[in-house]
Structure formats: C-alpha cells, structure tokens
Amino acid sequence: MATNPVVWWRERSLNERVVAAVLGGAALLLAELRFEHREVLGETWHAWLPLGYAALLLVGGGAALLRWQRGGRRILAALFALGIVIGALGIWFHSGGHPLTHVLQMLSAWHLPRSRQPPSGVSARSA
C-alpha cells in the first residue's frame, strides 16, 4: 500500500474513486442533516435515523472502500441499499404517514392556472 496519498489515489480504480466521491457527499449530507434536524432531534427518535445512517455510511463505507477487493463492494452495496430504506422512511415520516397524499399535493401545483398561482416568493401554503 502506498504511503503517499496522491500515489494511493492514482492506484484506485474509477469505481473506487466514484464511491469515495459518494462518501464525501455523505459527509456533506451528514453536516446538512445535523443542521436541518437540530430542532427535532430532542423531540422524536426518527429524526436520528438519517444522521445515524450517514454516520454508519461514512464509517462502514470508508472501511469497505479500503477493503474493496476483499468483500468491500458487497458491504457498500448493502449500505447503499439501506440508504433506500432510510429514504423511504424519511418520506413516510415527513408526510405524516401519508406519502401518496403529499406527492399528489405537490404535483397539483403544476395544474394551478396562472391566475391562482401565488406571487413569486410566497409559498402555496401561506397564500
């Protein structure tokens, strides 16, 4: 294993580099989620789900990336599949258990006639 980080990076395959970039994105997501969920973290347990997942993805994904040829790809696949589950739970919790209703409400904004659309900068809920 190379001790120089530049040499180590150049020895990685394109797939490993892409996964490293995705893990970097997960680090940014962790910081953003921590900020966005700051008010509800003490109120509900499910506000911790995306934070815990992002932390698990960073730690587990980083370790799996280092063991790319020795089962790391399977671990990463499982971690990314878990991300789909966590995302679905996020949709469920954010919609109050009625995801289809909220999706339809969101899509209905495309059908408002121009005369009924709220002015720029005003949300549809406050109009």
Q: Is there a contact between 90 and 50 (Cβ–Cβ < 8 Å)?
A: yes
72 and 38 within one domain: yes
> 64 and 120 share a domain?
no
The alpha carbon torsion through 47, 84, 58, 52 (nearest 10 deg) reads 20
Residue 13 and residue 53 in one domain: yes
pLDDT of residue 112 exceeding 70: no
pLDDT in tens, 74-105: 999 999 999 999 999 988 988 888 888 888 88
Please tell me the total number of residues recorded for the chain in this structure.
Answer: 127
Query: Based on the domain organization, do 121 and 87 belong to the same domain?
Result: no
pLDDT of the residue at 121: 65
For residue 102, report the phi and psi dihedrals to the nearest 5 degrees: -70, -35
Same domain assignment for residues 83 and 101: no
* Residues 125, 73 share a domain: no
With bands split at pLDDT 50, 70 and 90, how would you rate the model's confidence at 3?
A: confident
Number of structural domains, the chain?
2
What pLDDT is stored for residue 74 in this prediction?
Answer: 94
Residues 65 and 103 in one domain: no
Please tell me which residue, 113 or 14, carries the higher pLDDT value.
Answer: 14
pTM of the model: 0.71
Same domain, residue pair 108 and 59 = no
State mean pLDDT over 66-76.
91
Q: Which pLDDT belongs to residue 44?
A: 84
Residues 34, 83 within the same domain: yes
Q: What is the residue range of 79's domain? A: 5-94
pLDDT value of position 122? 62
Is 90 found in the same domain as 35?
A: yes
Q: Which of 85, 94, 104, 101 is nearest to 46 (CA)?
A: 94
N-to-C CA span, the chain:
60
Task: Based on the fold, state whether residues 78 and 107 are members of the same structural domain.
Answer: no
Q: What is the tens place of the pLDDT at every residue in 32-65?
A: 888 887 888 888 888 889 899 999 999 999 999 9
